[in-house]
Amino acid sequence: MPTDPYFINREKTPSKNQPSTKTTVPKLKKLQGFEGILNFKGYWDDRYNDDGTLHILEIRYFLSDDTIQIVEHDLDGGLKTFLKRQKIPKDRAYVKPPGYNEQNDLLNVLSLNSMNQWYAFDSSKNIIDVHDSYYHWSNLYVGAEIDVFSRKVILSSCDEFTKQYYLDYGLENFPSIDTPNEVEGKEKENIQNIPVCDDENILNKLLSVSKIEALVFKANIVPKEPNNLNREFVIKYFLNDQSFSVSEMKTQTAGALGCRFFSKRKIPMETPNESSMILKLYIGAKLVIDNFQFVLVDIEDRTLRFMMDHPKVFQHSDVTYIMNEVFQFLETDVDSFKNKYFQNKNEIERDIFIKIMSNQFPKLSRHGIFVLALQYKKQEKYKEISDNLFKSILQDELKRDLFLGFDGLEINFKQRNLDKKDGYLEHSSAFKALKSARLPFSTEIINMILKRFTHPETKKVAYMDLLKYLNYTIGPTSESQGLAKDVLYRKPNEVYVRVDEFVNDLRKLL
């Protein structure tokens, strides 16, 4: 049979490697001579979502094939499957594109005739390949946050076998991470350790001679919904009738304290023998008002100073008592403590001071840390507000409230000054006149207004000048660029704590 020239030319032509159509399934990796399980404990906090709860989990990592199984502690004390044993992807590409596990790319070659379509493999591999990335044992450690299909799981502890396994690879630090339940338990323990005064006679005497009108706190609402996470409130406790008012702080609100959340009201006592409500107000305390739970997170300096000036009633604000507690909890000498945590600085920012003290003295109440921050606070100049800016802010507030009762306010002033008619009133009479006119200002701003028009010698208020100052129909100003609450809550540019004096007072306790 004669030879075919086609086959001869084909043998001379170099052959191209044709891609294989056989797909291979990747085999699970196995360790030679060793199989074990790394056991971690962790949690997934889902309480901020609707109907969410705190999930206490056990995470099991199988070294034989790098798979992970997660089980959850049930309320009945049992265990239920949270995630069946499988590999957990790290890249969050949970839904892979079609054909991601094919080794070859199939091209669809079109022709003019639909009956002559044909297919071919792409030998150039131009289509982007999808590489899988899964969690490895090297990614797991105490304190790590792993993404389990969009669920943030925190690893809080591990067993002895897992510790020894990581020790063999040079990892020696195994910190203990508190679960949210443990953190709440410690907070309750700290609150129970806060001393309070039970002598009602001393308390009543204090309330009768008090020079401040109300105790002012900053609070957050305990979030039951995600929308409540960033909401901030101002809670005021009035000493004259032991009532509360709650206002929400909003940057776009024109009012002095933001919008009103709760009107002035009292909180009923749970038991007849319950201690006075004023003794339950401190940083970290929780209040329930009309089924809304608030936690106090900050305090006005004037309120905290009032508590510190009366340590017999507010024993949780006794500086001597708190300093003794710090000295007892101090594990190293004073100089080493200053060099290690304060970098041997004489002054440090207030927020950093509070953070350091909270981390190093977890048994110390947070209210006590705020007391120390105020006790050793460096006095700085407040941000200055010009007279024109202050006047424009006040007039803008009156315009927004559509206040036009300047004639009635003038008559009110003059009726309180019928005996002399000299244009001056006592501070208390002028204050009552402004409050009765229902101006859209808080008590603090009204006192700031009266202070500007008080004569330095007679201590009386020039109410006619005050009227001209507020009356935007007679002497209007340009629109302001600030809000009334910016005047009330103006702060120094930077607040520092005198660490050197704090450390020196600790040395005196030696």
Report how far residue 46's alpha carbon sits from residue 131's, in angstroms, rounded to the nearest whole number: 31
Element (H, E) at 233: strand 232-238
Return the pLDDT at 33. 40
Do 355 and 500 belong to one domain? yes
Report how far residue 187's alpha carbon sits from residue 284's, in angstroms, rounded to the nearest whole number: 8
Q: Which of 20-29, 246-255, 323-332 shows the highest mean pLDDT?
A: 323-332
Q: Strand locations in 90-231, DSSP E?
A: 105-109, 118-122, 145-147, 152-158, 214-221
Do 59 and 148 belong to one domain? yes
Q: pTM for this structure?
A: 0.51
Residue 94 confidence class, pLDDT cut points 50, 70, 90: low
| Domain containing residue 396 | 387-489
Residue 487 confidence class, pLDDT cut points 50, 70, 90: low
The mean pLDDT value of the chain amounts to 77
What does the H/E/C string look like for 321-389? HHHHHHHHHCCCCHHHHHHHHCCCCCEEEHHHHHHHHHHHCCCCCHHHHHHHHHHCECCCCECCCCHHH
Q: Name the percent of the chain in helix, strand, coil, to the closest 5.
A: 35, 20, 45
Do 353 and 435 belong to one domain? no
Answer whether residue 163 shows pLDDT above 80. Answer: yes
Do 482 and 431 belong to one domain? yes
Do 76 and 137 belong to one domain? yes
Do 502 and 367 belong to one domain? yes
Do 366 and 239 belong to one domain? no
Answer whether residue 48 shows pLDDT above 90. Answer: no
Return the pLDDT at 25. 38
- More confident: 339 or 72: 72
- More confident: 383 or 337: 337
Return the pLDDT at 380. 64
Return the pLDDT at 70. 94
Q: Is 107 a domain residue? A: no
Orientation angle between helical segments 319-329 and 366-375, nearest 10 degrees: 110
360, 341 Cβ separation under 8 angstroms: yes
Q: Is 66 a domain residue? A: yes
Do 52 and 148 belong to one domain? yes
Report how far residue 204's alpha carbon sits from residue 375's, in angstroms, rounded to the nearest whole number: 26
Return the pLDDT at 40. 92
Return the pLDDT at 5. 77
Q: pLDDT (tens digit, 9 = 90+) per residue, 248-292? A: 876 444 344 456 677 777 777 666 666 677 878 889 888 888 778
Q: pLDDT (tens digit, 9 = 90+) per residue, 387-434? A: 788 888 888 888 888 888 888 988 988 888 887 778 888 888 888 888
Q: Is 13 a domain residue? A: no
Residue 62 confidence class, pLDDT cut points 50, 70, 90: very high
Q: Which are the contacts of 447, defined by CB distance < 8 A and separation ≥ 6?
A: 431
Least trusted range by pLDDT, from 62-71, 250-259, 271-280, 473-482: 250-259
Do 84 and 156 belong to one domain? yes
Least trusted range by pLDDT, from 175-184, 336-345, 366-375: 175-184
Q: Strand locations in 46-117, DSSP E?
A: 54-62, 67-73, 79-86, 105-109
Q: pLDDT (tens digit, 9 = 90+) per residue, 488-500? A: 555 555 788 898 8
Do 353 and 465 belong to one domain? no
Q: What is the CATH number of the domain that holds 426?
A: 1.10.238
Answer whether residue 21 shows pLDDT above 70. Answer: no
Q: Is 207 a domain residue? A: yes
Q: What is the CATH number of the domain that holds 75?
A: 2.30.29.170
Q: Is 4 a domain residue? A: no
Do 338 and 448 belong to one domain? no
Number of domains comprising the chain: 4
Least trusted range by pLDDT, from 38-42, 276-280, 375-379: 276-280
Q: Which of 490, 491, 482 is nearest to 397 (CA)?
A: 482
Q: pLDDT (tens digit, 9 = 90+) per residue, 192-213? A: 455 555 555 666 666 666 777 8
The amino acid sitting at 412 is N
